[in-house]
Every structure is written in structure tokens, then in C-alpha cells.
Amino acid sequence: MTSIVLTPWWLRRRPVAAGAGEAPGSVAPTAILDWRHERVQRLLADARSAAPETGERPLLLAAHRLIGERVHAVYALDDAQPASRTLGLRRGSCSQRLAVLEAVARAGGIPTRVRGLLIDGSFWYPRFPRLRRLVPDTVVLAWPEFRLGQEWVGVSELYAPLGALGRTNPAGFTNTGSQTLFEALASTAVDWDGSTCGADGCSSYDLSAVVRRDLGRFSSRDELFAAHGQTLCPPARIVAGALLGRRSAA
């Protein structure tokens, strides 16, 4: 059982319309992706130094590793928190840490956008086995995409194609244990679309069954949350954030 009481249930989160235009993406700073801040600029410089070679993808991989090392995984709930604040606090949720990665990308001249996914709350049951009744009915997930060369690359395939990641870790992402969704990207296939399914059936890392709706693509996570709201309504977000904002997710 999940709860809709704590969510902005009055919002009409409709799936993306067929034939809807693609979001162009951007490198512009936003309230969340405040990449002009000195903390983001410092992380960009460190990522450039840590990257084994020049190029857009090596820069993003180095930034992802540095964020994993410097920003502790917690159950924070404010998806609109600026990337600079997450870096200052040195802790953040998967969504907040992904926002930091996007901010670094934009700071380095790499356009980003997000795909909005409405994920079934039961996906988080393994994380909160005793609090299932308080788990939101659905979770709004901003899944980043990066313009590398002439194509958009989802964060799921930043390290390698899904098939290669799946062969490395056939179990896929189970949302249990110390590995969070942010860390999983380096070694585990995260397939929201069932794109790894074939004539013989679907892979063990196919997560399409937990996707309630595809909300479409937005040029920034700011636009996504402005259109569909965050997972929890403001009062619930404040209370839950105070209780869980420092609790380790790893």
C-alpha cells in the first residue's frame, strides 16, 4: 500500500502526448542548475583534472565519480534545491546529486535536459520496509540526458550501453543495500523502457513495470517540476525532510 495523502494529488500528471516535440535542452543556468556558483565551478575544474583524457564523456564520468565521493547519499526530499547548496551541505538525494552532475555538464558547455518519469512508489518499498504506508503513491523522477556530439545520451548509458552493463551485473538495480540509483549508473543497467526485452522475454534489469507514466522531456528539471510538481506536497516535504534529510541512503 502506498499513500496519496502526502502528494500533490490535485495535479494532473498526464503522459506525454503522442508526437509531442522534443525538448531542445540548454546550457543556461537555472535556479536548480546554478552552475555559475563557485562550488560548481570548482567541481568542474576538479573533474577536468581528474578525467583521464579530454572530451565530454570523460569529463562527465569524472564528475560523477567526484560527486559520489564528496556528496553523501541521504533521503533528502527537496528536488528544487540548487546544486551549489547540495555541494555545500556535502549530502544529497539521488535526484539532488544528479542535478549537480547536470550543473557541471552545463558549466562545461554540455547541453542537458531531463525526461520526466512517474515511478510507482512500491519501487522504494525495499528502502522503507516498515514505513510502506507512508511511501508516496508515485515518485516524480527527473532522469537526465546529455548532448554528446550529435546525439542525446541518457544518464543510464553514460558509462556503457545497457546491454554491456547488464552482462556485467545481470541482477540489475534492485533498490536494496548500499548501492543507490546514483552509484548504480557506473556498473548496473537501469532500463526504464524495457529496451533490453526481446523475443525471449525481458531482462532481469528491466524496470519498465514500475514506470506509471512518461511525462515527456523538458529542457531543465526546473521546467519539469514547475509543470508537474515534486513528489510530495510542500508541508509533507518539510516534515519528511526534517526527519529523513540526514538519514543515510547508502
Domain-located, residue 19 = no
Domain-located, residue 13 = no
Domain-located, residue 178 = yes
Number of domains in the chain: 1
Between the alpha carbon of residue 181 and those of residues 41, 173, 190, 212, the distances in Å are 25, 8, 8, 18
Domain-located, residue 9 = no
pLDDT tens, the chain, 250 aa long: 344 445 554 455 566 554 456 899 999 999 999 999 999 999 999 999 999 999 999 999 999 999 999 999 998 889 999 999 999 999 999 999 999 999 999 999 999 999 999 999 889 888 877 776 777 888 899 999 999 999 999 999 999 999 899 888 888 888 887 789 999 999 999 999 988 775 565 667 789 999 999 999 999 999 999 999 887 655 455 555 555 555 566 6
Q: What is the CATH number of the domain that holds 223?
A: 3.10.620
148 three-class SS: strand
What's the rounded Cα separation, in Å, for the pair 192 and 209? 8
Domain-located, residue 137 = yes
Domain hosting 189: range is 38-244
Domain-located, residue 183 = yes
What's the rounded Cα separation, in Å, for the pair 112 and 94? 17
- pLDDT score at 153: 98
Each residue of 9-43: b (16+ CB within 10 Å) or e?
eeeebeeeeeeeeebebbeebbebbbbebebbeeb
What's the rounded Cα separation, in Å, for the pair 64 and 98? 8
The count of residues in the chain is: 250
Domain-located, residue 17 = no
- pLDDT score at 9: 47
C-alpha cell at 52: 583521464
**Which residue type, as a one-letter code, is found at position 135?**
V
Domain-located, residue 30 = no
